[in-house]
A and B are shown apart, each in its own frame.
Chain A
Amino acid sequence: MSYKYTLPHFFCLIVCLITLTGCTSLRGTGDLGVVIERASGSVQIVETTGRTRLQQITGLGDLSHASIVYSRDERYAYVFGRDGGLSKIDILEGKLVKRVIQAGNSIGGAISQDGKLIAVSNYSPGGVKVFKADTLELVADIPATYGKLGERSKVVGLVDAPGQMFVFSLYDAGEIWVADLKQPTMPKVKKFKNIGTQPYDALITEDGRYYIAGLFGEDGLSLLDLWNIDKQPKRILSGYGRGEKKLPVYKMPHLEGWAVAGEHAFLPAIGHNEVLAVNRNNWKQRGRIKVYGQPVFAMAQPDGRHVWVNFAFPNNDTVQVIDTEQLKVVKTLKPGKAVLHMEFTPRGEHVWVSVRDEDLIKVYDTRTFKEISRLSADKPSGIFFAARAHRIGL
C-alpha cells in the first residue's frame, strides 16, 4: 500500500519543488546594480533591497575608468572599458553575453533614446562608434577628424539626447558635435567649432535640453541649447575654472553626476576646493561652497535635499554633504582611502560609496548619515544602479 503511493507522491514533490524554485528565482531587475572592480577586470552584480552581492562576472579587460549604461528593459548592462572593450552583460543571469574590442583606448558610452543603439567614445583612434544594442554589430563610425591636417581628437562627454541624438566633445579640437542617428547607418553630424579649449567632460541636463562641456584650457563652460540647435553654444560661468594661477588638478572632475536641486545646479569647481551653486534660469553663479578638497563628483540625492561630494588625491578619503537650502557643508564623512564613486538608490534613502583602497562598498543612510552596511569588492570604482536605464544622459 505504502509502496503504491510513494512513487507518485515523490514525483509530485519534485514537480512542486521545481515550480517553487522557479517561482522564487523569478525576479525583476529594478533593484539591481553593477559595481566595477577596476583592477581585476570584473564586475559584481548587487541588489539594493537586501544589500547583497549576487554574482561576479570576470574577463572584461581593463576597467580603469569604466562606465555602464543599461538597456531599457533593465536586463542588460553595457560596460565600456578603458582598453576599447565593449561588453554586454546579462545582470539577471549573471553572465557575459557578448564582448567586442572596438578601439584601442576608450572613455565611455551612451545608449540611444529608443534603446537600440550603443555609442562609444574613443581616445584612440579618436571618434565615436555606434553599435546595435542587441548584437553589438558596428553600424556607424564617426571619426573625430579636425583641422587642416585631418588629425583625430580624443572624444569626451558622450551623452544621448532626445531625437536619436548623441552629443560629444572633441578634447583636442575644442568642438562639440551633435550626431543624429535616426538613420543609423547614415549619421548626420552637426559640428560646433571654437567652443573653448580642452573640453574635458560634459553633461546633459535631465530634461535633455542643455549640453554643457567643462573646459580645462580656459575658464567657464560651454552651453549648447538643443532646443535651439541653430545657435552656437554660449559661454557660461566665465569665472568657473582654474583662474589666473592655473592651479594643479590631481584628478579631472566628472560632470556626469551633475546635481540639480531646486533652482540650483551644483558643479565641482576645477582646481579649487569649492563646489559652485549656479542659478539654473540664467546660468549665473549663485554661491561658492568651501569644501575639503578638489571635488570630483558632486551628486544630488534624488530628492534634491543634499549634494554629496567626493574629492581628488590626496583628499580622497572624505565625503562631504552639502545642504542645498543653506548652501553649506552639513556633514563630513571618512569612508576610507580612495573614495571613487557614489550612487543613490532610486528614491535616495541610501547611498553606496566605493572605497577603492579598502576593497569595500560602504552604504550610508542619507537621513542619519550612518553607515548601515558594507560589502567587499576588489578595488571598486564606479557603481551603477539599473534605475539609470530610464534617465536621459545616463
Chain B
Amino acid sequence: MHNFLLLALLVLVAAPCYSMADISLTRQLELRHLLKHDCGSCHGMSLKGGLGPALTEDVLMKKPRQMLLATILEGRPGTPMPPWKTFLTTEEANWLLDVLLQGQSDVL
C-alpha cells in the first residue's frame, strides 16, 4: 500500500500533459505496467530496444507524432508490431506517447 501511494504520488508529480484528467490514476498505473512489461517484452523492459526498436525519447522525437500514434493503434505491417487498439483508446495511446516523449517511462 505504501508503495502504491508513493507510485501514485510520482505519477501525479510527473504526469504528462495529455488529457490527464480523462485517465484515472488506476488506469495510468495499468498503462505504465503495460508499457514496462508487455511493450517491454519486445522493446526491452527499459525500452532500450530488443527485437523491436528502442522507444527512448531521443529516438522517438525524430518521428512524426501521427506516425507513432498510428503505429501503436494500428501496428506496423511487415514487422511484428501488433495493433493495440483492442486494448487502448486513442486517448490512452496519446498519453503513453507523452510518457515516452518526455522520457518518463521509468518513473515507475
Q: How many residues of A contact B (CB 8 A)?
A: 29
A-B contact pairs, 23 of them (CB 8 A): A39-B36, A39-B45, A64-B40, A64-B41, A64-B45, A65-B41, A65-B44, A65-B50, A82-B46, A83-B46, A83-B48, A107-B51, A123-B49, A123-B50, A156-B51, A216-B80, A217-B78, A248-B75, A250-B38, A250-B82, A251-B38, A252-B42, A314-B87
Decide yes or no: A313 and B38 within 8 Å by CB, A38-B45, A64-B45, A249-B82 being known contacts.
Answer: yes
Q: A107-B50, A154-B51, A171-B51 are in contact. Are A246 and B44 (CB under 8 A)?
A: no
Are the C-beta atoms of A124 and B49 separated by less than 8 Å? yes
Q: Which residues of chain B come closer than 8 Å to A124, judged between CB atoms?
A: 49
Q: How far is the CA of A313 from the CA of B82 in the complex (A)?
A: 12
**Binary per-residue interface labels of chain B (29-60) against chain A in the complex, 1 for a CB within 8 Å, 0 otherwise:** 00001001110111011101111000000000
With CB as the reference atom, state the residue of chain A lying closest to B33.
A357
B interface residues, how many (CB within 8 angstroms): 21
Compute how far the CA of A65 lies from the CA of B40 in the bound complex, rounded to whole angstroms: 9
- Residues from chain B with a CB closer than 8 A to the CB of A314 are 87
Residues of B within 8 A of A152 (CB): none
A residues in contact with B44, CB < 8 Å: 62, 64-65, 82, 105
Cα distance, A252 to B50, chains bound together (Å) = 12
Whether A200 touches B46, Cβ cut-off 8 Å, given contacts A64-B41, A123-B51, A338-B37, is no
Interface membership of A362, Cβ < 8 A: no
Q: Which residues of A contact B87 (CB under 8 A)?
A: 314
> How far is the CB of B76 from the nearest CB of chain A, in Å?
11
> What per-residue 1/0 map shows which CB atoms of A302-325 lie under 8 Å from chain B?
000000000001100000000000
Interface presence of A356 (CB below 8 A): yes
Nearest chain B residue, comparing its CB with the CB of A154: B51
Q: Which one, A105, A107, A249, contacts B48 given CB within 8 A?
A: A105
Q: How far is the CA of A198 from the CA of B76 in the complex (A)?
A: 15
Is B64 part of the binding interface, using a Cβ–Cβ cutoff of 8 Å?
no
**Given A216-B80, A249-B80, A62 and B49 contact (CB-CB distance below 8 Å):** no
Cβ of A248: which chain B residues have Cβ within 8 Å of it?
A: 75, 82-83
- Give every chain B residue within 8 A of A356 (Cβ-Cβ): 37
Asked if A62 and B46 make an inter-chain contact with CB atoms under 8 angstroms apart, the answer reads: yes
CA distance A216 to B51 in the complex (A): 12
Q: In whole angstroms, how far apart are the Cα atoms of A237 and B45 in the complex? A: 33
Distance A249 CA – B41 CA, assembled complex (angstroms): 12
Q: Which residues of A contact B82 (CB under 8 A)?
A: 248-250
B contact residues around A217 at 8 Å (CB): 78
Q: A62-B48, A64-B46 are in contact. List 5 more A-B contacts (CB 8 A).
A: A82-B50, A107-B51, A171-B51, A248-B75, A252-B42
| Closest-CB distance, A308 to chain B (whole angstroms) | 20
User: Do A252 and B51 touch across chains, with their CB atoms under 8 A apart?
Assistant: yes
In the complex, which residues of chain B have a beta carbon less than 8 angstroms from the beta carbon of A200? 51, 80
CA distance A252 to B37 in the complex (A): 14
A200 to B80, CA, bound (A): 10
| Residue interface bits A335-349, CB-to-B below 8 A is 1, else 0 | 000100000000000
Shortest C-beta distance, B86 to chain A (Å), equals 8
Residues of A within 8 A of B77 (CB): 246
Q: How far is the CA of A249 from the CA of B75 in the complex (A)?
A: 10
Query: A62 — which chain B residues lie within 8 A by C-beta?
Result: 44-46, 48
Closest to B87 in A: A314
Q: B66 to nearest A CB, angstroms?
A: 21
Within 8 A of B (CB), among A86-144: 105, 107, 123-124
**Cα distance A39–B75 in the bound complex, in angstroms:** 26
Among B38, B51, B75, B77, the one with the most A-chain Cβ atoms within 10 Å of its Cβ is B51
Residue of A nearest to B42 (CB): A252
CA distance A105 to B37 in the complex (A): 17
What residues of B have a CB within 8 angstroms of the CB of A216 in the complex?
80
Contact assessment for A105 and B38 in the assembled complex, using a CB-CB cutoff below 8 Å: no
The answer to whether B50 touches A251 (Cβ under 8 A) is no
Q: How far is A124 from B48 in the complex, measured between Cα atoms in Å?
A: 11
In whole angstroms, how far apart are the Cα atoms of A249 and B80 in the complex?
7
